[in-house]
Chains A and B, each alone.
Chain A
Amino acid sequence: MKRILNWFRLRNLESDLDRELKYHVDRRVSDLIDSGLPEPEARRRAALELGGATQVQEEVRDIWLTRWLRDFIYDLRFSARSFRRSPSFTATAVLSLALGIGATTALYSLVDQVVLRALPINHPERLVLIDWIGFQNAETLGTANLMSYPIYRDLQQQKEFFDGVFCRAAVTINFSMGGDPKPTAAELVSGAYFPVLGVSPALGRLLTIDDDQVPGSSPVVVLSYDFWKAQFASAPDVVGRTVLVNRHPMTVIGVAARGFRGIDVGEVPSLWIPAAMSADALPGFDQMLNRRVRWMQVFGRLRSDVTLAEVQAGLQPWFKAMLAEDERRPEFPKITPDRRQRYFASVLDVAPAPQGHSPLRRRLSQPLWVLLGATGVLLALACMNVAGLFLARGSARGREIFTRLALGASRGRIGRQLLSDSILVALAGGLLGALIAFFFRRRSVGGSAPLQQLLLVLLLNLFIASRNPSIDNLAHIGGFLAGLVAMGLFDAAGPRNRGLQTAALAVPFLVGIALAVLGVANYPPGSGLTCVGA
C-alpha cells in the first residue's frame, strides 16, 4: 500500500535521497580533508566507500517501488510519449474503443434501468402484480392490468396471503403553485401505497390508509424528491403549503424518499395524490367506488410464509365467488351468453413485479436486449479495429523492437512494453466511453435542448482539431459522427419515451458507420489490411 502511495511522490523521494547522499559525501570529504588527505583523493575515497551514488539510488528505488512496478511506470511513460508522437493513431484507437464501450455501457444502463433494476423498496422480490385475466364486463380507463377500486378493497381483506395490497393509476394533472398550471405526471394511489412499498418520507409524512377512506375527504399530496428539488428548490418548509391540482387546492404533507420514483420507469410521477381525491385529479370522474369501471393496477406484498403458487390457487375460490356475486348486482350490465361465459372463465393472476409496473418495459424489453446484443457486436468490431491498428503499428515498429532485443531486452520485457501500450489505450478508451455513457445517464434524468448538444459536439470537434492539426479529415468526420451518436444517445431516454425506440435503433448504425470511417481513415494505404469494421 505504501508502495503505491510512493508512486505519487516519486519526485519528492528522489530529491530527498539526492540531498541525503550529498550530505553524506560532503561530510565524509571534509572529514577526510581534515585528516590530511588532499581534496581530490578525499573525494575519490568517499565515493569509493559509498560504492557509487547511482548504485545506492537504484537500490533505494527498488525499496520504494517493487521492480516490476517501477518498470511498469517507465513503460507507461514511454507508451504515452510514443502515443503523443502519433496522435491520429491514438485518436482512432481511443475513439473506436470509446464508441464501442460508450454505446454498450449506455445501452446496458438503459436495459438495467428499464428491464432489470428492482424498485428501491423493502424486499422488492415479494411485490406482486394482481391481474384479472379475462373479460371484466367493465368500462376501461387507462392501459394494462386494470381493475376497479372496490376489487382492491376486497383484495385488501385477503390477509392470509398478503402483508398488504395497494392500487395505483398513472395520471397527468395540471399543477400550479399559484401561477400558470403545468401538465405534471402524478400517481393516484390508495393509502396503503407507501406503507406496503416500505418507502419512507424525506420530509413530513406520506399517505396512509386514513387518506383514502371517503371520496373527496383528503385533499393532500406527497411530492417526489426530484420534484421537490426542482420546483420547490428543496424548501424545508414545503410541508403545509397549498398547491393547486387542476385548480383544486391541496396541502403538501411530505416528500418521498430520495431515489424513489414511483413504480413505473416509463411514467415517473412528480407527486402522489390519494385515490380518494380521484374526482379532483381526473376532472369529471366520480367512479371510484364503481365496480364496473376498471382504471387502476393492483399490487400486493406476499406474506413471507406463502409461495406465489399457493396465493394464486388460494385466491381463486374467493375470486369465483366474487364473480357470481357481482353478476347478481343490479348495476351489472346485461351481456350475451358468449360474453358471460368468458366472464366466468376469468382467473386472477398473481405475477412477481419486483421492478414495479411498466407497459414500457414489456414493449421494449425484447428490442432492448437485441440492441444490447448488437452493440456488443459493435464493441467486438471496435476491438478488432484497434487490434488491426496495433498490428499495423507493430510491423512499423519492428526496427525499434529489434534494436531493443539487440541491446539485451528480454522478450518478456518487450512484451510488457507492448502490454502497457494496450493498457494505456484501453484505459483512455474506457474513460472516454464511460464519459459518453455518463452523459447519457445524466440525460435520462435532466436534459438539454438538441441545439445545445449539437453546439457541444461541434465545439468538441473544433477543440480536438486545434489540439491536433495533423488529424486527417476522415478522422474528423468520424469524430463528428461520434458526437452525433452521443447526442442520439442523450436523446434516447428523455421523458418522451416514444422516441426511444427509434433513437436506440439509430445508435448502433451510427456507431458502426463511425467505426468504419475511423478504420478506413487510419489504415495506411497499401498496407494490405482490410478494414474490419466495415
Chain B
Amino acid sequence: MSSSRFPIPQGTLDMLVLQILSLEPAHGYGIAQRLEQISKSVVQINQGSLYPALHRLEQKGWLKAQWKQSETGREAKFYSLTRSGQKQLRAEKDSWARLTGAVQLIFDEGTGQ
C-alpha cells in the first residue's frame, strides 16, 4: 500500500480487463488479483471501480458472463471475451500503441534539441 503507486490513467482499466480476459475467462475477484499481480506496486487500481467496468463492458457486448463453479467450489460469475470484445481489444491495443508512440516521439524530439 505504498503511496508511490500512481492511479491508473482514465479509460485504461477497460483495456486491462479485456487483456486479462483474453487469456482466459475469470471472475471478478480473479481479475482483481491478476491486476494486483501484474501491476504489483506500480499502478493503483481501486477495486470498487472494477465491477462497474465489468458491467459496462458486458452491457456493450464485449464480455459475456456465466455462473460457474470456481476453484473454491462456490459458484462465481465468470466473464469471458466475446468476438466483438476481441475486436475491441485489438483496436484499443492499436490506438494505445499509436498514442504512446506519438508521445514518445514528442519526448524524443524534446531531448534531441
Chain A interfacial positions (CB closer than 8 Å to B): 2-3, 16-17, 19-21, 23-24, 26-28, 49-52, 55-56, 59-60, 62-64
Contact = CB atoms under 8 A, between A and B. Distances in A.
Contact of A20 (B46, B47, B49, B51): B51
Nearest to B45: A49
Interface of B: 27-29, 32, 46-49, 51-52, 55-56, 59, 70, 72, 74-77
Contacts of B32: 24
B52 A51 contact: no
Contacts of B72: 27
Given A20-B27, A59-B48, 11 more contacts: A16-B77, A19-B77, A24-B28, A24-B51, A27-B29, A27-B72, A28-B29, A49-B47, A49-B48, A51-B49, A60-B52
A56 B72 CA distance: 24
What 10 pairs between A and B have smallest CB-CB spacing?
A51-B48, A59-B52, A27-B29, A24-B29, A20-B77, A60-B55, A63-B55, A49-B47, A63-B56, A23-B76
B29 A56 contact: no
Contact of B51 (A3, A60, A62): A60
Contacts, number: 57
B52 A64 contact: no
8 contacts: A20-B28, A21-B51, A23-B76, A49-B48, A50-B47, A51-B48, A59-B51, A60-B51
B47 A64 contact: no
Contacts of A3: 59
A50 B48 contact: yes
A26 B70 CA distance: 13
B77 A23 contact: yes
A62 to B, nearest CB: 8
A21 B76 CA distance: 10
B77 to A, nearest CB: 5
A23 B77 CA distance: 9
Nearest to B57: A63
Contacts of B28: 20, 23-24
Candidate in B55, B59, B70 with the most chain A CB atoms within 10 angstroms: B55
A46 to B, nearest CB: 9
Nearest to A24: B29
Candidate in A50, A52, A55 with the most chain B CB atoms within 10 angstroms: A50
Contacts of B48: 49-52, 55-56, 59
Contacts of B46: 51
Contacts of A24: 28-29, 32, 47, 51
Given A21-B51, A49-B47, A64 B59 contact: yes
B97 to A, nearest CB: 28
A414 B68 CA distance: 44
Contacts of A19: 75, 77
B17 to A, nearest CB: 14
A51 B46 CA distance: 8
A51 B74 contact: no
A9 to B, nearest CB: 13
B29 A63 contact: no
A21 B46 CA distance: 14
A11 to B, nearest CB: 16
Nearest to A53: B48
A28 B70 CA distance: 14
Contacts of A60: 51-52, 55
Nearest to A59: B52
Candidate in B47, B49, B74, B75 with the most chain A CB atoms within 10 angstroms: B47
B51 A2 contact: no
Nearest to B71: A27
A333 B29 CA distance: 105
A23 B51 contact: no
Nearest to A23: B76
A70 B58 CA distance: 19
B59 A63 contact: yes
Candidate in A2, A19, A23, A51 with the most chain B CB atoms within 10 angstroms: A23
Candidate in A2, A19, A60, A63 with the most chain B CB atoms within 10 angstroms: A63
Nearest to A30: B72
Candidate in B28, B29, B70, B72 with the most chain A CB atoms within 10 angstroms: B29
B59 A23 contact: no
B112 to A, nearest CB: 44
Contact of A23 (B27, B47, B52): B27
